[in-house]
């Protein structure tokens, strides 16, 4: 392996499977690696014998990923940072990792931008998705620490102040081992996303409208307009489940609303 790059890679994990190990292995191209652990039950002593990293443990369930990422930025000592999820990696083989390493090194040396977008390729049911919303997703994950921060508690987005450039850095994404895990994941994320909805009479009406029309429109967008059907049955399954994700966000909104009303009734003093 070549000399490490003047870069910090941050990984947030709750996993202790091969996906996280692949992510950690590919991160060793960086001068510093920070792991934010959320009750993953990894054998950290063993891992520290094989990999270099700084471990930060969190016991409470993460409800705001943007906040966790922004807190991690305060720990970064290098000028540049790259964020990976624990189901993402910079390559399954040393050859691919080194190709990405050279692309990153070129960006750091030229220093033309303050933030960089990367290409993320999703692998679903053993095959890479080429189409739909998951096909070759462009996301901003690498930036100068002083120029970036994250917004949104789930499906968080990096906001960059300064010059933003595009790169050919490719990150492989293995979000779901099987359909059961996929459904559990979207259920969890839907619950978190629903917390962003403001409860009011107006938003209740809007939410009913979204509940009726958004899920089928989401399916049509993924499967038809974004050509998800070209991914075969994987594209069909992906489009269906993501339409349920759209539905679940609105359903959980009403559940949160009911809980709030019940809490207000229970806390209201009797006359």
| Residue-wise pLDDT tens digits, 2-35 | 789 999 999 999 999 999 999 999 999 999 999 9
d(CA 188, CA 173) in angstroms, rounded, equals 19
Question: Three-state SS for 30?
Answer: strand
Task: Show the low-confidence residues of the chain (pLDDT under 50).
Answer: 270-271
d(CA 134, CA 230) in angstroms, rounded, equals 13
> Which pLDDT value is given to residue 265?
55
Question: Three-state SS for 171?
Answer: strand
Q: 30-38 and 5-13 as β-strands: parallel, antiparallel, unpaired? A: parallel
d(CA 161, CA 159) in angstroms, rounded, equals 7
- For 173, phi then psi, to 5°, come to -120, 125
Q: Contact at 8 Å (CB) between 79 and 6?
A: yes
The residues spanned by each domain of the chain are: 5-173, 179-266
> Which pLDDT value is given to residue 136?
77
Q: Contact at 8 Å (CB) between 36 and 10?
A: yes
| Residue-wise pLDDT tens digits, 139-150 | 999 999 999 999
Q: Contact at 8 Å (CB) between 205 and 122?
A: no
62-88 burial code (b ≥16 CB/10 A, e <16): bebbbebbeebbeebebebbbbbbbbb
> Which pLDDT value is given to residue 266?
62
Q: Could you tell me which residues come within 8 angstroms of residue 265 by beta carbon, excluding any fewer than 6 positions away?
A: none
DSSP readout, 113-152? -SEEEEEEEEEETTEE--SSTTTTEEEEEEEEGGGEEEES
- For 214, phi then psi, to 5°, come to -65, -45
Q: At which residue do the structure tokens 């996301």 appear?
A: 139
> Which pLDDT value is given to residue 194?
77
Q: Which two tokens stand for residue 172?
A: 């492989």
Q: Contact at 8 Å (CB) between 38 and 17?
A: no
> Which pLDDT value is given to residue 209?
83
Q: Contact at 8 Å (CB) between 125 and 79?
A: no
pTM for the model stands at 0.85
Architecture of domain 5-173: Alpha-Beta Complex (3.90)
């Amino acid at each position: 392996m070549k000399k490490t790059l003047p870069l910090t890679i941050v990984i947030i994990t709750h996993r202790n499977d091969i996906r996280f190990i692949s992510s950690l292995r590919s991160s060793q191209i960086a001068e510093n690696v920070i792991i934010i652990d959320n009750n993953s039950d990894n054998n950290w002593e063993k891992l520290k014998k094989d990999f270099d990293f700084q471990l930060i443990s969190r016991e409470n369930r993460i409800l705001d990923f943007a906040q966790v990422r922004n807190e991690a930025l305060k720990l970064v000592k290098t000028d540049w940072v790259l964020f990976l999820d624990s189901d993402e990696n910079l390559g399954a083989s040393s050859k691919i990792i080194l190709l990405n390493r050279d692309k990153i090194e070129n960006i750091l040396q030229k220093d033309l931008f303050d933030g960089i977008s990367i290409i993320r390729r999703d692998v679903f049911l053993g095959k890479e998705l080429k189409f739909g919303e998951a096909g070759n997703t462009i996301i901003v994950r690498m930036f100068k620490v002083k120029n970036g921060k994250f917004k949104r508690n789930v499906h968080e987005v990096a906001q960059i102040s300064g010059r933003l450039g595009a790169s050919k850095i490719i990150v492989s994404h293995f979000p779901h081992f099987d359909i059961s895990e996929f459904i559990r994941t979207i259920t969890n994320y839907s619950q978190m996303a629903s917390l962003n909805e403001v409860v009011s009479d107006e938003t209740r009406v809007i939410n009913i409208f979204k509940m009726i029309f958004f899920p089928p429109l989401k399916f049509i967008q993924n499967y038809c307009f974004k050509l998800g059907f070209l991914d075969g049955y994987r594209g069909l399954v992906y489009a269906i489940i993501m339409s349920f994700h759209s539905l679940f966000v609105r359903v959980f909104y009403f559940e949160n609303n009911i809980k709030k009303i019940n809490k207000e009734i229970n806390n209201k003093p009797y006359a």
